Chain A
Amino acid sequence: MDPSQALEMLKNGVPTSWYLTLSALLFSIGVAGFMIRRNIITVFMCIELMLNAVNLSFIAFAHQHKQVSGHLFTFFVMVVAAAEAAVGLAIILTVFKNRSTLNIDEINTLKN
Chain B
Amino acid sequence: MDLFFFSLFAFIALICAVNVVLQKHPISSALSLVGVMGSLAVLYLLLGAEFVAMAQVIVYAGAVMVLFIFVIMLLNAGIEEHRGRSWIAKLLGFPAFVALLGLLCWFVQRFFPNTGFVKFGDFTGGGAQEIGYALFTEYLLPFEVTSVLILIAIIGAIVLARKELD
- Measuring CB to CB, which residues of chain A are less than 8 angstroms from any residue of chain B? 9-10, 12-22, 24-26, 28-30, 32-33, 36-39, 41-42, 44-46, 48-49, 52, 55-56, 59-60, 62-64, 66-69, 71-72, 74-76, 78-87, 89-94, 96, 102-103, 105
By DSSP majority rule, is chain B's interface helix, strand, loop, or mixed?
helix
Given contacts A37-B80, A76-B142, contact A16 B131 (CB under 8 A): no
Contacts of B83 in A (CB 8 A): 38, 105
The answer to whether A102 and B75 have CB atoms under 8 Å apart is: yes
Give 8 new A-B contacts, CB below 8 A, not counting A42-B20, A52-B60. Answer: A15-B118, A18-B10, A37-B80, A45-B29, A64-B115, A72-B139, A78-B55, A86-B157
Contacts of A22 in B (CB 8 A): 10, 13-14, 43
A-B contact pairs, 24 of them (CB 8 A): A12-B117, A14-B3, A19-B6, A25-B14, A29-B14, A36-B93, A38-B81, A38-B83, A42-B26, A45-B26, A45-B29, A45-B30, A48-B60, A49-B17, A52-B37, A56-B44, A69-B134, A75-B135, A84-B153, A89-B68, A89-B157, A90-B160, A102-B75, A103-B81
Bound-complex Cα distance A91 to B160 (A): 6
The answer to whether A81 and B60 have CB atoms under 8 Å apart is: yes
Q: How many A-B residue pairs have CB under 8 A?
A: 226
Contacts of A84 in B (CB 8 A): 153
